[in-house]
Amino acid sequence: MSERLHELDRPNSYIGKSVPRPNAVHLLQGRGRFVDDKVLPRMVHAAFVRSPHAHARIRGVDADEAKTLQGVIAVFTGEDMAAAIAPWSGVLTHLAGMRSPEQPALARDITRWQGEPVVMVVAQSRAIAEDAAALIEVDFDPLPEMCDMEGALDSDAVVIHPELGNNLCWERLVETGEVNAAFSDPANTVVDRTFTFGRHTGVTLEARACIADYDQAEEALTFHYSGQSPHMMQAILAKHLGFEEENVNVIAADVGGSFGIKIHTYGDEIATAAAAKLLRRPVKFAADRFESFVSDIHARDHRVKARLALGQDGRIAALEIDDLTGIGPYSVYPRSSGIEANQVLNLTGAPYDIPAYRGRARVVFQNKNVMCQYRAVGHPIANSVMEGLMDDAARQLAIDPAELRRRNLFADDAYPVTSVTGMKFADLSHHACLGKLLDMMDYEGLKSERDALRKKGIHRGIGIVSMVEVTNPSPMFYGVGGAPISAQDGATVRLDANGAVHVSSSITEQGQGTETILAQIAASAIGVDIAKVKVTTGDTRTTPYGGGTWASRGAGIGGEAMLLASRALKSQILEAAATVLQARPEALDIEAGNIVDTGGTKPRMSLAELGKLVYYRGNELPSDVRPELIATRHFRVTDYPFVFTNGAMASYVEVDIETGMVKLLGHWVVEDCGTVINKKLVDEQIRGGVVQGIGGALYEECLYSENGQLQNATMADYLVPMAGEMPDIEIAHIETPSCTSDLGAKGAGEAGTCGAPGAVMNAVNNALEPLDASVAQHPITPERLLRALSVID
């Protein structure tokens, strides 16, 4: 041992052989110290060498110079990590025929997108790790790229995974009713259009980050991460790093925005956890903004060919769509990259009573960053396609766009009803929402203003959409496909000795106000001031098991669990108080933290008094009375695969036909998200969603070169909507409680993103209508708008 410690005193000496590790792991001394083959706990930092090529063979890695840099602890290649991490495959079994090869944490042999992690460097600081990464030379042999999803299935296309034979990940066909007859009927009017949606990503305020800490004595891992689904991540880390699941604790404290970006498996994060296990010390990784652009999942890269047949009375006869989407080289684990296309098939035309439908979705591999679920998965595409066709049909039939929608929306008294795509709907209010929207925006007045300004050469337009939003998913969404994703959520509620209420929930806080909602529900159900409710979320060791935050399920599922647990605790409190006060439980109630007679307000006993008696002076209670002042309840949706929110939205814009600039003048939303628990939080969620939807409609797009190079991976080049460009967003509500729960809450977090792109597109096209021009490609950039006007080639 003395010889080994002497060796440690030599700067930068290679000591990898002194500790049992996979032979390929290069462990460097830096300033660390070993004692009895253990590294003394001290957090170190990870940085990654990422592929500069979209498709290349890795011929070798030369890290010799990097290893000599003072402060470098370890260097890991894909081969090294393969010995520590089991690969994964993002396939859901209920999406029949889906296939995707196993994906490693770090690329092995071949890299398949620009930005894929290839080598990991661990050092005493992030700066040292980055400096060392810059010294590593990777010998890449570039391979032909397949970046264009339109050509991915051609017979001569480069096949990204030769073992699959072609680039098809998944295909689904849906057909209901007499589609061919409807389109061949000469009495019907047919409109058709090809819509193109630009690939973009969620630019979260806080980038992805994690700290992994391995406890060798307990063979346990603690994983702090900026994410949405702690219990899902617990299962993934345990499975792929060889832990017992109960020995993995995942903590997600307040997270600075997610938008669905942080519910996926990222190789750099799993490698960080593996490095902590190998090095027996905490390892931190935080993505910088460039890394975020090339490694955070992208979304919305779709091309949809669509057509709509209508009778002369304006009633829809048939709808047909063909959706093609490129998802990068892998289907993302564990949720898969097929869900977005599946949502497009399921939700296109969802608000309308359509007798015949045909849909095809093809999901293909390509040499770009991976794509997966992002806020309002598939909704903006489905909504923009259908609502764009509705406006085209209104123009052709000379029917007002609002009136055309009235003729085709499901009646508000028709529910429950099953859509032509097989979606089970209940408790919706399309007509009420549309009527309220038209009144709120003064539709007739805006039309008159628009028409008057057109005569002066000012081009303004109005766009309207009707929409649905998938919320509160049941186990039929992911669990049935084999993914470790819970459709239930849980809540535990406890009274302490001072009369305060402590609640914990499996829902996580991503900045959307989850903890406020949970506290509000508990306070109201129990009868205490909200200031007396203390909330814990985001810790697999202390919170009940549940799915976390995604698919607008926080209030509808997590909130319902909190309501049930709070009611149970209230019953326990009243039973204990009844014993002390010699009363019947049903004759008592709780008001402002005090036990009162039912219907009264005079305190008979405070919760603090009751808590102290139960916890400290139990001897004063009868021997057969053993109060439990804690309750746990779980909730999941049954009978329906999803709970749907619905609404209507409108946009008012002005188009400068000389510059191609679009000015947003006003935006209106009416939403029915069931019981509104906290109007301010709901309204701001809707506003945030609208802004994000406007980003996709006008600004945001990940621009790639023909050989798969991301061209705008900085905030200087990737445009996001800013406050100065946004209009006033007015919001109103219809409240139709969901029949699936006592609380009656539906989701509200994604509806704004769902409807805004279609509303803005329709408004722009309405402004261009007198000029016989239109656009159907998102984002609607000035260049694309000027091309539509034939101002430029």
* pLDDT at res. 17: 28
Structure tokens at 119: 């080598």
* pLDDT at res. 12: 33
Q: b or e along 395-408 (b: 16 or more beta carbons within 10 Å of the residue's beta carbon)?
A: bebebebbebbbeb
Residue 19 pLDDT level (bands cut at 50, 70, 90) = very low
Residue 106 pLDDT level (bands cut at 50, 70, 90) = very high
Euclidean distance between CA atoms 671 and 682, whole angstroms: 10
Span 135-162, average pLDDT: 97
* pLDDT at res. 15: 28
Mean of per-residue pLDDT scores for the chain? 94
| pTM of this structure | 0.94
* pLDDT at res. 476: 82
Euclidean distance between CA atoms 681 and 631, whole angstroms: 27
Residues 6+ apart with CB under 8 A from 186: none
Q: b or e along 124-158 (b: 16 or more beta carbons within 10 Å of the residue's beta carbon)?
A: bebebbbbbbebbebebeebebbbbbeebeeeebb
* pLDDT at res. 793: 75
Span 535-554, average pLDDT: 96
161-219 pLDDT per residue, tens: 999 999 999 999 999 999 999 999 999 999 999 999 999 999 999 999 999 999 999 99
* pLDDT at res. 202: 95
Residue 42 pLDDT level (bands cut at 50, 70, 90) = confident
* pLDDT at res. 30: 35
* pLDDT at res. 364: 98
* pLDDT at res. 4: 27
Structure tokens at 449: 């203003």
Contact by Cβ (8 Å): 525, 567: yes
* pLDDT at res. 18: 30
Contact by Cβ (8 Å): 346, 135: no
Contact by Cβ (8 Å): 200, 228: no
Span 556-567, average pLDDT: 98
* pLDDT at res. 792: 79
Query: Quick check: 1 pLDDT over 70?
Result: no
Residues 6+ apart with CB under 8 A from 492: 503, 504, 505, 543, 544, 565, 630, 631, 632
Which option is the CATH number for 380-470+641-788: 3.30.365.10, 3.30.1330.60, 3.40.50.300, 3.30.160.20?
A: 3.30.365.10
Span 509-527, average pLDDT: 96
* pLDDT at res. 404: 98
Span 350-368, average pLDDT: 98
Query: Quick check: 27 pLDDT over 60?
Result: no
DSSP string, 200-217: EE---SSPPEEEEEEETT
Query: Quick check: 592 pLDDT over 50?
Result: yes
Query: Quick check: 142 pLDDT over 50?
Result: yes
DSSP string, 437-467: HHHHHTHHHHHHHHHHHHTTT-EEEEEEEEE
User: By percentage, how much of the chain surpasses pLDDT 70?
Assistant: 95
Q: What CATH number has the domain spanning 2-32+488-635? A: 3.30.365.10
Say if 2-32+488-635 and 35-143+207-255+261-295 have the same CATH topology.
no
* pLDDT at res. 36: 44
Structure tokens at 20: 């049992």
Contact by Cβ (8 Å): 668, 441: yes
Query: Quick check: 22 pLDDT over 70?
Result: no
DSSP string, 505-537: ESS--SSS-HHHHHHHHHHHHHT--GGGEEEEE
Assign domain 35-143+207-255+261-295 to its CATH architecture: Alpha-Beta Complex (3.90)
Instruction: Parse the chain into domains and list their residue ranges.
Output: 2-32+488-635, 35-143+207-255+261-295, 380-470+641-788
Query: Quick check: 495 pLDDT over 80?
Result: yes
602-637 pLDDT per residue, tens: 999 999 999 999 999 999 999 999 999 999 999 999
Structure tokens at 481: 């496909």
Contact by Cβ (8 Å): 63, 136: yes
Span 340-366, average pLDDT: 98
Query: Quick check: 9 pLDDT over 80?
Result: no
Write the DSSP symbol of residue 152.
T
Half-sphere exposure of 548 (CA within 13 A, CB side): 28
399-454 pLDDT per residue, tens: 999 999 999 999 999 999 999 999 999 999 999 999 999 999 999 999 999 999 99
714-726 pLDDT per residue, tens: 999 999 999 999 9
Query: Quick check: 136 pLDDT over 80?
Result: yes
* pLDDT at res. 278: 97
Query: Quick check: 11 pLDDT over 50?
Result: no
